[in-house]
Amino acid sequence: MARVYNFSAGPSMLPEEVLKTAANEMLEYGSTGQSVMEMSHRSKEYDAIIKQAEADLRDIMNIPDNYEVLFLQGGASTQFAMVPLNLMNKNHKADYIITGQWANKAYKEAARYGNARAVASSADKTYSYIPKTTAADFDKEADYVHICMNNTIYGTKFHQLPDVGNIPLVADISSCILSEPIDVSKFGVLYAGAQKNVAPAGVTIVIIRKDLIGNAMDITPTMLNYQTHADNASMFNTPPCYSIYVAGLVFKWIKKVGGLEAMKKINEDKAKILYDFLDMSKMFKGTVVPEDRSLMNVPFVTGSDELDAKFVAEAKANGFVNIKGHRSVGGMRASIYNAMPIDGVKKLVEFMKKFEEENA
Ligand SMILES: *Cc1c(COP(=O)(O)O)cnc(C)c1O
């Protein structure tokens, strides 16, 4: 068996150690005689799994007690509706910063439920930078301000949060959750689909300040009301049991690695190897302004569609898969989430150097 280096933007790599544990526990979890997939979500064994996962996540992210942690379904995309349905109910206004397709989808969804306003956008330059804002740009009456913290498709990241004063800040952290420490207390809501940095697709993590729960619009479906899930400890209905179990294994793995400070250091080292090469290469160029570069998603181009296609094909033949860029940016994109080992990035850069020499 030969595992490839998988640079997919999502679903993406999981730590090999986690996959091995899951494999070992596949037929029998503990001494239950059954797999986690087959277990009642109301059993005491499963209750311990979900509670431990929540406790470990709280520990790793240092989540304050006045925040709920919810394990939901529907992906980050369902949060695009859930956030306005639950939060846009005081002044019926919300401000959005448009930094890419995901941010734009969130904005459009919110506009169905109230006055969503696009405060700033980087669409003019294919979202290759994070637009600057000041406190004066935001509507003081906005029920919240929404950002997409790490822009998976374009490879940008908010390295500094916008100054939104007392307005609750809501962030989609699908592609940067657990990649580095984050000050949860600066946010009203954080949400993330699991399939980039946490677990197989299925679970969506929501971290929400408790005072923001309980003010949903009357039209809000029961399943889309945060209150429903907060009141039932994410067990109102059957949760995505297996995905939560794997998330729990990933949380334990992060603890073993040394927590989010250690994770950040590793991610910075990995990204630096790739960005340093892009800055020096005559063939490959990064597409993002240096100050807004993501640690997780690194898009790059050669400037020639033909050469890009050749590179993607040869990379694949050499065990570097899913490196083709998103159609809206073109070229290549290397997603180097937590589970991508540093060797994967080193070997990719060696391969890029060789390709550059051979095709100069
Ligand atoms: C992948 C992604 C999404 C979509 O997630 P789903 O779970 O597929 O709905 C939304 N936002 C960001 C930033 C993403 O990377």
SS3 222: helix
- Would the CB of 86 count as within 6 Å of ligand 1? no
The answer to whether residues 50 and 69 touch, using CB atoms and an 8 Å cutoff, is: no
Residue 172: active-site member: yes
Q: Is the CB of 172 under 6 A from ligand 1?
A: yes
pLDDT digits (tens, 9 = 90+) for 8-17: 999 999 999 9
Atom of ligand 1 nearest to the CA of 100: 13
Decide: 158 in ligand 1 pocket, CB within 6 A.
no
What CA–CA distance (Å, rounded) separates 334 from 274?
Answer: 9
Q: For 16-256, give the CATH class.
A: alpha beta
Would you state the CATH architecture of domain 259-358? Alpha-Beta Complex (3.90)
How would residue 360 be classed by pLDDT, with cut points 50, 70 and 90? Answer: confident
| Residues written for the chain | 360
Q: How confident is the model at residue 340 (pLDDT cuts 50, 70, 90)?
A: very high
What gap in Å lies between CA 268 and CA 53, rounded to an integer? 26
How far is the C-alpha of 123 from the C-alpha of 101, rounded, in Å? 9
Arithmetic mean of pLDDT, 171-191: 98
Q: Please enumerate in sequence order all residues whose Cβ is within 8 A of that of 125, keeping only pairs 6 or more positions apart, or say none.
A: none
Which token pair is 174? 């699908």
Nearest CA to ligand 1 atom 12: 174
By most ligand atoms within 8 Å of CB, the mutation choice from 83, 149, 152 for ligand 1 is 152
* pTM of the complete model: 0.98
CB under 8 Å to 339, separation ≥6 — which residues?
12, 13, 14, 15, 16, 18, 197
CA 193 – ligand 1 centroid, Å: 6
253 is catalytic: no
Selecting among 172, 253, 270, 308, the annotated active-site residue is: 172
Q: Where are the domains of the chain?
A: 16-256, 259-358
In this predicted structure, the answer to whether residue 6 has a pLDDT above a threshold of 80 is: yes
In this structure, what DSSP letter does residue 282 have? S
199 lines ligand 1 (CB under 6 A): no
Tell me the two tokens of residue 186. 């600066």
* 304-319: average pLDDT: 97
DSSP 324: B
DSSP E strand stretches across the chain? 5-6, 67-72, 93-98, 115-121, 144-148, 150-151, 156-157, 169-172, 189-193, 204-209, 285-286, 297-301, 320-321, 332-335
Residue 102 is among the residues annotated as catalytic for this protein: yes
pLDDT level of residue 2 (50, 70, 90 thresholds): confident
CA of 70 to the centre of ligand 1 (A): 17
pLDDT, tens digit, for every residue of 233-259? Answer: 999 999 999 999 999 999 999 999 999
User: For ligand 1, what atom is nearest to the CA of residue 193?
Assistant: 7
Cβ of residue 202 lying under 6 Å from some atom of ligand 1: no
Q: At CA 84, angle to CA 80 and CA 87, rounded to 5?
A: 135
